[in-house]
Structure 1
Amino acid sequence: MANVTTPLTNTEVKQSKPKDKEYNLADGGGLALRVKPIGSKLWLFNYTHPQTRKRANISLGVYPAVSLAAARKLAGEYRELLTQKIDPKSQRDASALAEQEAHSRTLKHVAEQWFDVKKTTVTPNYSEDIWRSLELHIFPKLGKKPIHNLTAPDAIHTLKPLAAKGSLETVKRLGQRLNEIMTYAVNTGQIAANPLAGIKSAFQAPEKNNLPALMPDELPELMRALTIGSIKITTRCLIEWQLHTMVRPSEAAGTCWNEIDFNKALWFIPAERMKKKRPHTVPLSQQAIALLETMRPISGHREHVFPADRNPKSHIHQQTANMALKRMGFGGRLVAHGMRSVASTTLNEKGFDADVIEAALAHVDSNEVRAAYNRAEYLQRRTKMMEWWSSHIDQAASGNMSLAAGTKTLRKVN
């Protein structure tokens, strides 16, 4: 007749005393309490490994932290695993490792993985802005939080102080970036779903304000201000260069000499410097070439056409033009990016083909086949348009000194 193990009672477990050698008190079904000479009591589950058929022990915890009832419950769960041919110790170790890995996947850790991909799709200046905003507003409160524990209330609570200050555009951008990070985590299998998908509904939408830009008939005012303004020649050349070429501030500030083909009068901007990560070719008018010739004695021996003052090996900051325009009295009326709007409005009013204008502004067509065709088809037409635009700027500068007009034909101020 088989031996029948009498289940332990709470009193027996509590009153068990240490002996010279450790011993076990069996509860049945593989569960036992091991009492050690020092007085500590440990729950053990003894079982036969489902694959190796060898005997094995697994700890269930220390008494009284783990009660008799809790130990029996764990032992029951492990017996259930054994009926499924699963080794409980291997299962527990795998679960613990998964939990440890989950807690090591903090928001900042996953954000770093996401950013490694994100920065390949945007300009260096924009990627720097993205990461700085996360370091400033998100990571101090949420950076160490495991991403699988991150909730919508967590994100909303973090963004509320910014919203209270009226920084709604910043809130919008941070919400978009958080959602991109969480979507990346979903797509890489680190979480099952994105809990932040609806956080934008918790905040007021920012008012949509167009970047300040002058009306076309105010262009002469800008040209006169450039003439009489107390600004460095490099800054003035930068502003005129951006005005003539219709590029974005970051693209203008980062102009490199090796991007210029003087024989073909073309400026080849590589994809990594463009907002949409596609190469852009700019036909250079005579006036644009004249600006380069003005800069050649200053920076022709360097990499960048418009070098920075403090570090000539780098290029001028993209905000330099904005600061100069503000000092010249255009604060709230014109920013550097707004000069593209001046060009676009003027060219549209003069009847130039809208598609040609869009190509000149490097606005990407969603149809890639058509976009490739347009780049080839429009280059000749864009060349003529850019020549007209530069001549129009010259006319607006009539009576003022224009650097783009060339050193031999500088107009004098009346």
Structure 2
Amino acid sequence: MYLQILCVNRPFNTASAKWSDIDLENKIWTIPANQMKTKSSHTIPLSSYALKILKEQHMFKIIDSPFVFPAINTNGHLHRDTISKAIRNLGGKNKYSGIATSHGFRATFRTICSKSKAELLNLGISEETIESVLAHKELNAVKRSYERDKATIEQKAKLMQWYGDYLNSIEPLGI
């Protein structure tokens, strides 16, 4: 759940994460184009919080599985709905049913960024950086054809660390 919240991926991408796509040393997670809704590869800089989660998960890695979150009963990965189910049942069965979802944390991220726009602009983080982190595709075909890259990896890394720090400041993550 924390990795989903911190990396703001689509739930399927978190549930199906592969170790071969994660570079712990360089703090980067690159999701191949064929696994993305936009059909473009997506690079996520890993905040110190996300990195710590992945390093801990790596200690429990199942040797035969390429997945970060392997399924116990199959050779595959956890189902994407497993994350939402865990969120729904935090603190009791169906306690957060209809209140929180794994995909909804993407909207939470976007809302927090919008409310913190002035602070983010002071850090050199633009709307395009936020949209890039969310792996949103520009709908305007003309604009998209002229825009090669929405944000640098450094801008995205700064945003992801800021977001992790922000979340940790309102509720210590214990990570």
Could you state the TM-score of these two structures normalised by the residue count of structure 2?
Answer: 0.85
Q: 3-state DSSP class of the match of 2:148?
A: helix
**8 Å Cα contact 2:24/2:55 also seen in 1:** no
Q: 2:110 maps to what in 1?
A: 344
Letter in 1 for 2:81: Q
Distance 1:276 1:248 in 2: 11
Match of 2:144 in 1: 368
- Asked whether the equivalents of residues 249 and 337 of structure 1 are also in contact (C-alpha less than 8 Å), the reply is yes
Q: Provide the residue aligned with 1:220 in structure 2.
A: none
Map residues 47-196 of structure 1 onto 2, 5 A cutoff: none
Post-superposition offset of 1:394: 1.6
Q: Are 2:82 and 1:320 equivalent residues in the alignment?
A: yes
Which residue, out of 350, 354, 358, partners 2:131?
A: 358
Question: Residue type matched to 1:350 in 2?
Answer: S
2-structure distance, mates of 1:284, 1:382? 9
Counterparts of residues 212-291 of structure 1 (less than 5 Å): 239-291=1-53
**1:392 partnered with 2:166:** yes
Gaps of 5+ in 1: 1-238, 406-414
Report if aligned partners of 1:247, 1:340 keep a CA contact under 8 Å in 2.
yes
Per-residue CA shift, 1:288-329, capped at 9, x if unaligned?
Answer: 110011111222523000111212x31100000111122221
Aligned to 1:380: 154
Identity %: 26
Count of residue pairs the alignment pairs up: 160
CA distance in 1, matches of 2:42, 2:101: 22
CA contact (8 A) 1:344 1:357 kept: yes
> Any idea what SS the aligned residue of 2:29 has?
strand
The residue identity in structure 1 corresponding to 2:77 is H
Offset of residue 368 of structure 1:
3.2
Contact 1:271 1:279 in 2 (8 A): yes
- When Rg is computed on C-alpha atoms for both structures, the one with the higher figure is 1
Deviation string 1:223-274 (CA, Å, 9 cap, x unpaired) is xxxxxxxxxxxxxxxx100111010000110100000112221111001110
What's 2:97 paired with?
Answer: 331
Q: RCO higher in 1 or 2 (8 Å CA, sep ≥ 6)?
A: 2
Q: Distance in 2 between matches of 1:346 and 1:392?
A: 9
CA distance 1:260–1:300, shift in 2 (3 Å):
farther
Q: Take 1:373 and 1:327, find their aligned partners in 2: how far apart are those partners?
A: 39
Per-residue Cα deviation, 1:189-229 (whole angstroms, up to 9, x for no partner): xxxxxxxxxxxxxxxxxxxxxxxxxxxxxxxxxxxxxxxxx
Are 1:307 and 2:70 matched, yes or no? yes
Q: Is the 8 A contact 1:364 1:371 kept in 2?
A: no
Distance 2:113 2:8 in 1: 11
* Structure showing the higher helix proportion among its residues: 1
CA distance in 1, matches of 2:164, 2:69: 20
How far apart, CA to CA, are the structure 2 residues paired with 1:260 and 1:341?
24
How does the TM-score come out when normalised to structure 1?
A: 0.37
Matching residue of 1:233: none
In structure 1, C-alpha distance between the alignment counterparts of 2:110 and 2:76, rounded to whole Å: 30
Q: What's the CA shift string for 1:352-374, capped at 9, x where partnerless?
A: 32221111100001333344232
Secondary structure of the residue aligned to 2:26 is coil
